[in-house]
Every structure is written in C-alpha cells, then in structure tokens.
Amino acid sequence: MSETALITGATSGIGREIARRFADEGILLILCGRRQERLDALEAELSPKTRIHTLNFDVRNREEVSQAIDSLPPEFADISILINNAGNAHGLDPIDKGNPDDWDAMLDINVKGLLYVTRAVLTGMVKRAGGHIINIGSTAGKEVYPMGNVYCASKHAVDALNQAMRIDLNKYGIRVGSVNPGLVETEFSEVRFKGDSARADTVYTGYQPLKPEDIADIVHFVVSCPPHVNIADLVVMPTAQASSTIVKKDR
C-alpha cells in the first residue's frame, strides 16, 4: 500500500522540496499552505508523478485546521506520514525591543499550529496504530543566539514536543522524530526581515548554505528507514557552520 504524507508549509522552501522528493517516490501527497496559487502550481507540477490533494488553511486557526483535515476525501484520509514543517521567524530584535505581534506569530504558528495539526492527524494514526511524524525543528531549538529569543523559544518548544510525542505515542507504535537544520537558503530570512531581501541575502552570502533539497533528501531517508528504525533527533548544518553564531565566511 502506498504511503500518504501531509506536509505543512508546502508552498515554499523546505516543505516544497520535501513534496518534490516524496512525489519522486510516488507517495500520495496532501499539500498545505495559505498561498493557493502556489499550491495549485505545485499540484500541476507534481500530478504527473503522484496523486495530490491541496488544503488551504492557516495553522493558527484551530477550527480551520480540523475542518480541513476532516474534509479529506477517503483516498487521502489515512495519513501515514506527517511533516510538521510550517513555520517562520518574525523579526530579530533584543528582548527589550521585540514586537509582541512578532512574538504572537512565532508562538502561534511554530508551536500552537504544530500542535493543532498534529492533534487532528493523530485521530487516524492512533486508530490505525501506526504512522510517522517528523517535526522540522532547528538548531535554534538546540541553542539560543543573540536576538533569537522568541524564535529560539518556539523551536525549543518543538524540541520538547518532539520528545513528548515520542513518549505519549510509543504505545501506538507511532514513530516520532525531528530534523533540525541550521542555515538553509529559503524565504525564511525574507519573512524574518519583512520583505527586506537585501538584508535576507546577507544571511546566505560568503559561504555555501544548505539547500532545501538537502533537507528533503534527509527527510526522505528518515521515512525510508525500516519500520523498526526511528531517527529520533537529527541536527544538520552547512559545513561552514559550527554553531548558530559561528559561520566561516570567505567574504
């Protein structure tokens, strides 16, 4: 039987590349995001390779999340792989100057949104006593860096929830693990700096950052492991990066 994967944040960056990588394997895909035109474009691109269903919802809206997942047609209803990827940083400010709207966005999307989606998908996984959840955390969930405060807190929460899910879902045989990337060149910094692409570009210049395809290959490896193998917690950085604050740049 073919696998069915639900990927949040499939309209950009890491999530979109995971969708492309999974489509190459013929995995049925439920692609989620808020930008419908991007969902449509990805559906058109990947439909020759696999069956696609798109869901447009904001992970912050608990009602929207459960309605969207409840609305899945029977062919897509038995989700075997959940990729909790939707998320972003908003702002990079010291704690005394942070914008509380940015704080709300990061905690609502990266933490509560992940919880809402997981809760909705787990109903089926628990009933079927199986499934595989991959939480996209971050090196920001392993160490705190200057001005990363609330983003780092949100990703530390993902790290804690990854452990909590593994503990609570152990009795159902559901695999839970996280992939925690360092610097990956996506729209992440453009979102963080609110559309200032010149500033965003400086994050990825002077060295070779990870590409979203690198993360997609790793996530594909994680889901391809035999059923008795669970990659519980994986950290991946560009070779040029040693920690959140140490990056060897040649210019």
Q: Which stretch binds ligand 8X3 (CB under 6 A): 22-30, 60-68, 125-133, 134-142?
A: 134-142
CB 244 within 8 A of CB 148: yes
Amino acid at 156: H
Phi-psi label, residue 17: left if phi above 0, alpha if psi -120 to 50, beta otherwise: alpha
Q: With CB cut-offs between 5 and 8 Å by kind, which of ligand 8X3, ligand NDP, none does residue 169 bind?
A: none
Site for ligand 8X3 contains 138 (CB under 6 A): yes
Contacts of 246 (CB under 8 A, 6+ apart): none
Q: Pick between residue 131 and residue 182 the one whose CB is nearest to ligand NDP.
A: 182
Site for ligand 8X3 contains 140 (CB under 6 A): yes
Our answer to whether residue 151 is catalytic in this structure is yes
Q: Pick between residue 86 and residue 165 the one whose CB is nearest to ligand NDP.
A: 86
Q: With CB cut-offs between 5 and 8 Å by kind, which of ligand 8X3, ligand NDP, none does residue 103 bind?
A: none
The residue whose Cβ lies closest to ligand 8X3 is: 138
Q: With CB cut-offs between 5 and 8 Å by kind, which of ligand NDP, ligand 8X3, none does residue 58 bind?
A: ligand NDP
CB 177 within 8 A of CB 216: no
| Torsion over CA: 69, 103, 158, 85 (sign) | positive
Say which of 145, 151, 172, 207 is annotated catalytic: 151
With b meaning 16 or more CB within 10 Å and e meaning fewer, what string describes 38-68?
A: bbeebbeebeeebbbbbbebbbbebebbbeb
Amino acid at 211: K
Please identify which residue in 19, 55, 59, 169 interacts with ligand NDP, judged by CB under 6 A.
Answer: 59
Helical (H) or strand (E) element with 83: strand 81-84
CB 84 within 8 A of CB 131: no
Site string for ligand NDP, 212-241 (x = CB under 6 A): ------------------------------
Amino acid at 202: T
Please identify which residue in 12, 80, 135, 139 interacts with ligand 8X3, judged by CB under 6 A.
Answer: 139
Q: With CB cut-offs between 5 and 8 Å by kind, which of ligand NDP, ligand 8X3, none does residue 13 bind?
A: ligand NDP
Smallest separation, CB 151 to ligand NDP (Å): 8
Site for ligand 8X3 contains 110 (CB under 6 A): no
Catalytic residues: 151
